[in-house]
Chain A
């Protein structure tokens, strides 16, 4: 059982040390990682996913319940406590979606009787996030960028079903990101979101600030931020509604912006 993970600071791109030397994530925490493009956000979640132990370019160390990851985490995907949803928006595997999901469910130690049901659940989950639904028999390589991200999120939630989920820029592919986070947060896990989005950052208990490959700061979301996060959500919903109208070929009239201040 994983109770917590700890990132012990290493160094940034030019060898200068991470300013925050130790960050602990407890079960149930939602943490964001923010910072300019190229600042090392992806590198930090990759360190977690690789069970870094001073052997990645950042020199960081990641501890699980206070100790380095046991070898099974790395060698047996069914024991791996982490699901990572990468920034990739294309698949390279030339397989049908359902074959891919059932194979992955097997690898992740899914119960043989459950595998077909799990694959179908994952497809249904993905289709809650996409505009145009994807079909079980579509080839993975044919999926759009948004469908790819949606399927990866569904795969992480349903097929991997791990205690730790790392999500790299959910906002990036035009999927329903608030819906995605809503669905994910039904499960009690450690969530780490790399994001540029104020709404997602304010949903989090705290955020890690990156720059030049270094961990610069750890900011706990305070009362004041929580209070106005409601307003941010309203503004974001208004924009989302405009986005939907645009996608559906409507002319925009802007009424939803009237109440927003």
Chain B
């Protein structure tokens, strides 16, 4: 089974991209399953099940970071999709944590960015971009050709090896090369590993210590003067 993990900031067009990709995969006779990982609200599963008649599921990460939650449930999700007879599993995740990234060593990692987001976005999302295989840039219909090309350059500055695909996800224009790339990706199989390194250790905030100020914490602490710029791997 092929595995596609699709991440990106809220409302960039992840579902729109996956909807067109799913439709084209179905046209080619590939059974598709869809899995959404969100923090507390999502309705893509119902939408896509209704529109495309494919098996769909969702999970809320709740008090976990969605990437952390992804690590926990992706194995089960793959087994579920296999049981449903899927040849391609499309996973959409909010990927809210800009320190981690949800991609695994198998399958295709896709980040969805919007051309309307401002030129610094590629610099701000770290491994969500730098560890992806493909960066899909949506909403190119909303900007000039010149801005679209400068946005491409900004992505290439941060992630020179990522393939960039510009699309209009409203009308599904530019989706075909992404579908070809999905089909050319080797099948994913458990066991799998995260591509990126997770954050160092557990912090005292994670275990519920709410006091502000590094003096109140132990383990991984940081002062204002001690800043490191994190670019991903």
Residue of A nearest to B151 (CB): A93
Contact of A152 among B116, B146, B151, B153 (CB under 8 A): B146
Task: Please tell me if the beta carbons of B153 and A106 are within 8 angstroms of each other in the complex.
Answer: yes
Report Cα–Cα, A85/B148, bound state, in Å: 12
CB distance from A151 to the nearest CB of B (A): 8
Q: When A and B form their complex, what is the total count of cross-chain residue pairs whose Cβ atoms lie within 8 Å?
A: 61
Q: 8 Å CB contacts to B: which residues of A55-101?
A: 55-57, 75, 77, 83-86, 88, 91-95, 100
With an 8 A cutoff between CB atoms, is B150 at the interface?
A: yes
CB distance from A55 to the nearest CB of B (A): 6
Report Cα–Cα, A55/B171, bound state, in Å: 10
> Quick one: CB contact mask for A130-166 with B, threshold 8 Å, 1 for yes?
0000000000000000000000100110011000000
CB distance from A247 to the nearest CB of B (A): 26
With an 8 A cutoff between CB atoms, is A107 at the interface?
A: yes
Task: Please tell me if the beta carbons of B144 and A103 are within 8 angstroms of each other in the complex.
Answer: no
Interface residue total, chain A, C-beta cutoff 8 A: 29
Report Cα–Cα, A152/B143, bound state, in Å: 11
> For the side of the interface on B, what is the size category?
20 to 34
Contact of B144 among A75, A77, A86 (CB under 8 A): A86
Task: Please tell me if the beta carbons of B146 and A104 are within 8 angstroms of each other in the complex.
Answer: yes
Report Cα–Cα, A221/B210, bound state, in Å: 76
Residues in B neighbouring A85, C-beta threshold 8 A: 144-145
Task: Please tell me if the beta carbons of A77 and B149 are within 8 angstroms of each other in the complex.
Answer: yes
Residues in B neighbouring A152, C-beta threshold 8 A: 144, 146
> Quick one: CB contact mask for A93-125 with B, threshold 8 Å, 1 for yes?
111000010011011100000000000000000
Q: 8 Å CB contacts to A: which residues of B147-177?
A: 147, 149-154, 164, 171, 173-174, 176
With an 8 A cutoff between CB atoms, is B208 at the interface?
A: no
Residues in A neighbouring B144, C-beta threshold 8 A: 84-86, 88, 91, 152
Q: A92-B116, A95-B119, A103-B153 are in contact. Are A84 and B173 (CB under 8 A)?
A: no
Residues in B neighbouring A49, C-beta threshold 8 A: 145
Q: 8 Å CB contacts to B: which residues of A19-61?
A: 46, 49-50, 55-57
CB distance from A135 to the nearest CB of B (A): 18
CB distance from A191 to the nearest CB of B (A): 16
Residues in B neighbouring A93, C-beta threshold 8 A: 118-119, 147, 150-151
Task: Please tell me if the beta carbons of A94 and B119 are within 8 angstroms of each other in the complex.
Answer: yes
Task: Please tell me if the beta carbons of B145 and A107 are within 8 angstroms of each other in the complex.
Answer: no
CB distance from B110 to the nearest CB of A (A): 17
Residue of A nearest to B118 (CB): A94
Task: Please tell me if the beta carbons of A56 and B147 are within 8 angstroms of each other in the complex.
Answer: no
Residues of chain B touching chain A, judged by Cβ–Cβ distance below 8 Å, are: 115-116, 118-120, 141-147, 149-154, 164, 171, 173-174, 176
Q: Given contacts A94-B120, A95-B150, A100-B150, could you give 20 more A-B pairs where the C-beta distance is less than 8 Å?
A: A49-B145, A50-B173, A56-B171, A57-B173, A75-B164, A84-B145, A86-B144, A86-B145, A91-B144, A92-B116, A92-B142, A92-B143, A93-B147, A93-B151, A95-B119, A103-B150, A103-B154, A107-B150, A107-B153, A155-B146
